Amino acid sequence: MLARIASPHDTQQALWAMDQPVTMVTRIFGSHHHPGRLFFDDARQAKDEHQDEDEERSYKSLQTSLYTQARLDRPTRTAVPGALYTSEFGTKDFTLHGTINGWLTCIAIETLEHKPTYSLLLLLAGLHMIDRLGGNKSTGKGQCCIEIQELKINGGEPYKKEKWQFWLDHLEALSYYSSAIVSEEEEA
């Protein structure tokens, strides 16, 4: 594979990457040359309205567990000296809440009801596919489930779950994205 930028001081090579087309993934998450417009807030545990700060601190130890391991040298299958480490994990059935805000500029899918954009459909599908987060996935850690509680578009009323889940039944619409780009450019 050829490296595109051999030196950060090679202006011609650095500018070459700016001329590359914007992909659907770049529209959602951004790149070095095209910033993303989505903002992912930290996911935090929802506070119980009856829970005060002292109570919150006392429960913290009940919400996490420590897991101590030693890194192994694969050829010898022995512990590597100085490689003892401890990881902290949330306990099972631990629920976090977070939000994603921002703008997804893309073409609307005309064939679907309420015309979501291709980028929004890909983002929703991606969120539903996540089943593990973080490290130690090979030891069974990080298992999760993302559940979308509310979807608003352009600050409007929230979409009912049945409406946007209907879109997920039509992921084949994503295969028409490149032809939609060509037809949009022809109209311009």
**Per-residue pLDDT reduced to its tens digit, 33-62:** 778 888 989 888 776 654 556 665 566 556
* Among candidate residues 61, 141, 65, 133, the one with its CA nearest the CA of residue 96: 133
DSSP string computed for 124-171: HHHHHH--B-SS-GGGTTTB-------B-STT-SPBPHHHHHHHHTTG
> pLDDT (tens digit, 9 = 90+) per residue, 128-186?
998 888 777 667 777 888 899 899 887 788 988 888 899 999 898 888 876 666 555 55
Q: Are residues 158 and 169 both part of a single domain?
A: yes
Burial of 30 (0-12, 13-18, 19+ CB in 10 A): middle
For residues 161 and 129, state if they share a domain: yes
Q: Which domain holds residue 186?
A: 21-44+97-188
Burial class (CB in 10 A: 0-12, 13-18, 19+), 64: exposed
Claim to verify: residue 76 and residue 140 sit in the same structural domain: no
Instruction: Please tell me the distance from the alpha carbon of residue 49 to that of residue 153, in angstroms, as a whole number.
Output: 29
Counted domains in the chain: 2
Q: Are residues 102 and 154 in the same domain?
A: yes
* Beta bridge partner(s), residue 132: 143
Is 0.75 topped by the overall pTM? no
